[in-house]
Amino acid sequence: MRLAIENERRLELAFEGHRWFDLVRTNRAIPVMNAQKDGNGKSLNYNISEAKIFFPIPQDEWDRNPNVR
C-alpha cells in the first residue's frame, strides 16, 4: 500500500518538488536514485550516498572555499 501511495504522489506531484523528500523520509533515496536509467536503459550514474542526502553543499560553496572538502 505504501508503494502505491508513493507512486501516486510521484505522478500527482511530479513538478512540485516533493519526490526527493518523500524518498529521503522513507529511506529509499539511495536505491531509487542509483537505479535510474535513461531512455536507452543506460545507468544515469547519480552515485547517491548517505553523505549526499542530508547535508548537500552547493557547488558555489565548493568553488569558493577549497577547505570544505
pLDDT (tens digit per residue) in 10-69: 899 999 989 888 998 899 999 999 999 999 999 999 988 888 887 677 888 888 988 876
Residue 57 has a pLDDT of 78
pLDDT score for 52: 81
**pTM exceeds cut of 0.85:** no
Question: Which has more confidence, 1 or 56?
Answer: 1
The amino acid that residue 56 corresponds to is P
Predicted confidence at residue 67, as pLDDT, reads 86
Name the residue range of residue 17's domain: 2-68
Domain count, the chain: 1
